[in-house]
Structure 1
Amino acid sequence: MSARSALPVRSRLLALAAVCLTTAATLTMTLATPSLAAAPIVGTQAPGFYRMMLGRFEITVLSDGTHPFPVHMVLTQVVDNKGAVPLDQVAPGEADALLAESRLAVPVQGSINAFLINTGSRLILIDSGAGSLYGDCCGHLIDNLKSAGYLPDQVDEIYLTHLHADHVGGIAPNGKMAFPNAIVRVSEADADYWLNDRNEQAAPKLLNSMFEGDKASLRPYIDAGKFKPFAYGQELSPGITPIASPGHTPGHSFFMVESEGQKMLMWGDVVHVAAVQFPNPSVTLAYDSDARMAEKEREMIFSDAARNGYWIGAAHISFPGLGHVSASQGHFFWIPANYEGPAARP
């Protein structure tokens, strides 16, 4: 081969070598640069509030958080002559089977919901979450209240369905008044029971901590003259009426909220584990003061709500806990609210 004919070959080899060097450099840079998809996992939820209109009332549901609910420890069933017996003894495997039908398994996260009602002239909070009484899982109500556009000092009144820790603790996290301008109200029957030292001494150990949590939460309001237990039989505020529903606690209350013919029943602790207690309303709780009465109250309100079609605001159904009770072929079930964007205006 002559020198003239070898020149094109040499040029082609040099060009190929240059391409190889460029490709290698590009590959090295690619491997050395972190992928844009490798962002850290955030691990937080959006602010926990949800709004809907009920007539002219604006209802804002506030999440206090979720906690692992001890299904196998506290679910019970009333057995004649034996009282409330652990469900796992009465019907082994029933709780797990019913949870599985809803694609759930223990530990089940239980929602703690509270309800802020803007009547147009007053701001009323129904239940307040656990505050600092349940640990780091909960106590998010104040932050979610602020995220929803309100401040604690704007709340005029707080109505408590009962005085268990996850309903009263949020009024005074760590013993400090969280709602400085609010009047706190609960039924006389519940106040008389939970603020009585003799009842604490006689109560099951499971409930002992509730008494201390109640006293610590209520004390700032009692000292300030802002604790006013109520009797049944009249509205607490125009459109909001308490209804006696004893069983879960001696003075457990419903609150019927009504505006322009639309109704929502804030039913407190009728349901703790929806996947179990809708298909089997006879399932009670170790926390019930009177399990048989609590069972009757649940069956009664399921029937009434299914017949009359009013809204339910539920403290422990998956957030936001808004929906309806329906019935089919002798069985009750929960119909959750359909998610909507901006709350519809009247």
Structure 2
Amino acid sequence: MAGFSIRGLVCFVAGHGPALLLAGVAQAATGHVVEQQVPGVYHQQIGTLQVTALFDGTVALGRQELVGIEPGAVTRLLDHRYVPEDGKGLQTAVNAYLVQSGRHLTLVDTGTAQCFGPGLGQVLGNLRAAGYDPAEVDDVLLTHAHPDHLCGLLDANGKAAYPNATVWLSQTDADYWLNPASEATAPQGVRFAFALARKAVAPYDAAGKVRRFSAGQALPTGVTALDSQGHTPGHVSWQLDGGSQQLLVWGDIVHFHAVQFAQPTASYEADSDRTAAIASRRAMMTQAADHGWWVAGAHLPFPGLGHVRHEGDAFAWVPGEFAPLPAR
């Protein structure tokens, strides 16, 4: 491995197979067992944008959390897709994305930080491993206010992880998730998320750095918020202009990639409005496929960058090919 830089390598975490194989080779050659992957960082040039995928960790989602689709159909779609599954559920990545345009740094979503226990909360460390200082981030765009997307606004000490950034959250999601009155009437299973959301944005709010936006209001240059409500009341997907190419960071349009591209009508149990979530999923997939946009997905296998193509009345995911960065 002489001559290779760890910083530039990709951390693929779709399963333990490659890590175990690597460990076996290392042990056979040197007697040393490799116990961890390289940092979860991947760079992709998209037009004028340098995009860095940041791995936060994985969560397990049970196949029973898919609704609107028969269990037998789920089994058939998962067959030979090789999605790791244990007693807790299907392995599902949590990703965030740092986008550099010129000297401007934009972070889309922030990961889980301390909210979901061990194995997650790696975005901030991976951002540093990629060579960036969190204090350099200018804007944080939140797709929605769930803990795995905004808890990472805080560092391990509960302070603002991105002290100089402006945080952008849709007015609709802010009105719901930051309002204690909403918590009292919310389904029991999601009530824990309200306090986490309020805590995460508090230091930014105190500094006057939270922008609650509605349709038609000004956003950072080169950024468009696309209404993709359904998973939450104010869920948005972010389109970033790379000149010759466009990037769509679509948040939680997909949770079960092996199922929902082929069956867009299959919903996630946690969707607040399943009908709206299905409509948003079809709309985002259709636009991405029709226009050839790059897509970044919070819960697609890391690095979660690629394209969508039409497949009959449904869709398919086309992972991006590894590519070297252009010379600077």
**Deviation digits for residues 1-23 of structure 1 (CA, Å, limit 9, x no counterpart):** xxxxxxxxxxxxxxxxxxxxxxx
Amino acid aligned to 1:98: L
* Cα distance change of structure 1 residues 265 and 345 upon mapping to structure 2, 3 Å threshold: farther
Q: Is the 8 A contact 1:128 1:166 kept in 2?
A: yes
CA distance in structure 2 between the partners assigned to 1:216 and 1:275 by the alignment: 34
Q: Is the 8 A contact 1:235 1:242 kept in 2?
A: no
Q: 1:52 is paired with a residue of what secondary structure?
A: strand
CA distance in structure 1 between the partners assigned to 2:36 and 2:192 by the alignment: 30
Equivalent residue number for residue 292 of structure 1: 275
Amino acid aligned to 1:201: A
Q: Is the 8 A contact 2:264 2:314 kept in 1?
A: no
CA distance in structure 1 between the partners assigned to 2:62 and 2:197 by the alignment: 21
Shift of 1:71: 2.7
Equivalent residue number for residue 140 of structure 2: 158
Equivalent residue number for residue 180 of structure 1: 163
CA distance in structure 2 between the partners assigned to 1:36 and 1:327 by the alignment: 45
**Residues 1:257 and 2:268 are matched in the alignment:** no
Shift of 1:144: 0.6
Equivalent residue number for residue 53 of structure 2: 61
Q: 1:101 is paired with a residue of what secondary structure?
A: coil
Equivalent residue number for residue 266 of structure 2: 283
Amino acid aligned to 2:302: F
Structure 2: any 5+ residue segments left out of the alignment?
A: 1-26
Amino acid aligned to 1:146: R
CA distance in structure 2 between the partners assigned to 1:250 and 1:241 by the alignment: 18
**Residues 1:319 and 2:302 are matched in the alignment:** yes
CA distance in structure 2 between the partners assigned to 1:250 and 1:330 by the alignment: 27
Amino acid aligned to 1:298: R
Larger radius of gyration: 1
Q: Is the 8 A contact 1:243 1:255 kept in 2?
A: yes
CA RMSD across the alignment: 1.8
User: Structure 2 length as normaliser, TM-score?
Assistant: 0.86
Q: Give the aligned length.
A: 298
CA distance in structure 2 between the partners assigned to 1:316 and 1:266 by the alignment: 11
Greater than 3 Å deviation, 4+ residue runs = 35-38
Equivalent residue number for residue 116 of structure 2: 134
| 2:67 paired residue among 63, 76, 96 | 76
Tell me which protein shows more helix as a share of its residues. Answer: 1
Counterparts of 1:170-319 in structure 2 under 5 Å? Answer: 170-174=152-156, 175-234=158-217, 236-319=219-302
CA distance in structure 2 between the partners assigned to 1:135 and 1:70 by the alignment: 18
**Deviation digits for residues 54-112 of structure 1 (CA, Å, limit 9, x no counterpart):** 2222111111111222332x2112xxxxxxxxx5xxx1332232112312353321111
Equivalent residue number for residue 11 of structure 2: none
Shift of 1:304: 2.0
Q: Is the 8 A contact 2:228 2:281 kept in 1?
A: no
Q: 1:315 is paired with a residue of what secondary structure?
A: coil
CA distance in structure 1 between the partners assigned to 2:269 and 2:119 by the alignment: 22
Shift of 1:234: 4.8
Q: 1:229 is paired with a residue of what secondary structure?
A: strand
Q: Percent identity?
A: 38
CA distance in structure 1 between the partners assigned to 2:73 and 2:130 by the alignment: 39
**Residues 1:44 and 2:39 are matched in the alignment:** no
**Residues 1:145 and 2:127 are matched in the alignment:** yes
Amino acid aligned to 1:50: Y
* Cα distance change of structure 1 residues 40 and 247 upon mapping to structure 2, 3 Å threshold: same
**Deviation digits for residues 117-158 of structure 1 (CA, Å, limit 9, x no counterpart):** 111131110000011111111111111101111011111110
User: Structure 1 length as normaliser, TM-score?
Assistant: 0.82
CA distance in structure 2 between the partners assigned to 1:184 and 1:138 by the alignment: 22
Structure 1: any 5+ residue segments left out of the alignment?
A: 1-34, 78-86
